[in-house]
């Protein structure tokens, strides 16, 4: 089993800056996002020799982040790390969505025409199974909501706990163990 998992959210995009839900729309990084991603190379440098598995969402913003961080040559594209499919809510802000559906909550309702929470749980569990089969340190380059869901499941919590783990663009989190207990070692680093 992986000793630790380092999760990496892609750098800033036009839609992440404007807080628009960006699921399957394949946006590039902004120059700010490219700077964030390049800075990850130094921040992740200490992990380089211990990394046994690098998984990356196939979406452009995650791939660019992985490349600029220096792990593209070791990365395996992983469909299960794609961002939550927001369906009819793709490209909208939470304020715009709640103008239509005042009680909407992604973590409990999912998105019409997109994914339900249980769909994302199934994907996250497949990623966690890959990590369980690996040794050393694993890296996951992906997106805010799917990484927050993955974190909740790593910590043996319900997916709804993912709402409590805000993850900034270009930030990392470290998931580890304290003896047999899964723990959150670092967040938004």
- Encode pLDDT of 60-103 as tens digits: 999 999 999 999 999 999 999 999 999 999 999 999 999 999 99
List 83, 90, 143, 145, catalytic entry: 83
Hey, which bits of 11-166 come out as E strands?
51-56, 75-77, 137-142
Give pLDDT, residue 155: 98
Give pLDDT, residue 97: 96
**Structure-token pair, residue 139:** 């890296």
| Whether 175 contacts 184, CB under 8 Å | yes
| Whether 106 contacts 145, CB under 8 Å | yes
CATH of domain 4-186: 3.40.50.1240
**Structure-token pair, residue 111:** 């998105």
Extents of the domains making up the chain? 4-186
CA 126, 132, 134, 138: dihedral to nearest 10 degrees? 80
Q: What is the pTM of this model?
A: 0.96
Which positions of the chain have pLDDT values less than 70? none
For residue 83, indicate whether it is catalytic.
yes
Q: How far is CA 75 from CA 69, 146, 159, in A?
A: 11, 18, 26
Residue with tokens 């470290």: 174
The 10 Å Cβ neighbour count of residue 53 is 20
């Amino acid at each position: 089993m992986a000793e630790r998992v380092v999760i990496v959210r892609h750098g800033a995009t036009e839609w992440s800056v404007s807080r628009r839900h960006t699921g399957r729309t394949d946006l590039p990084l902004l120059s700010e996002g490219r700077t964030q991603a390049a800075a990850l190379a130094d921040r992740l440098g200490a992990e380089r020799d211990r990394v046994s598995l690098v998984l990356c969402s196939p979406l452009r913003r995650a791939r660019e982040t992985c490349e600029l961080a220096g792990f593209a040559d070791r990365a395996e594209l992983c469909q299960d790390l794609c961002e939550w499919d927001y369906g009819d809510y793709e490209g909208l802000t939470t304020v715009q969505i709640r103008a239509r559906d005042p009680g909407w909550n992604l973590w409990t309702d999912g998105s019409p025409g997109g994914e339900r929470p249980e769909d994302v749980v199934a994907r996250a569990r497949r990623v966690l199974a890959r990590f369980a089969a690996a040794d050393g340190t694993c890296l996951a380059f992906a997106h805010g909501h799917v990484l927050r869901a993955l974190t909740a499941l790593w910590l043996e919590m319900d997916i709804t706990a993912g709402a409590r783990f805000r993850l900034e663009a270009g930030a990392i989190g470290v998931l580890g163990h304290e003896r047999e207990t899964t723990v959150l070692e670092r967040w938004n680093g």
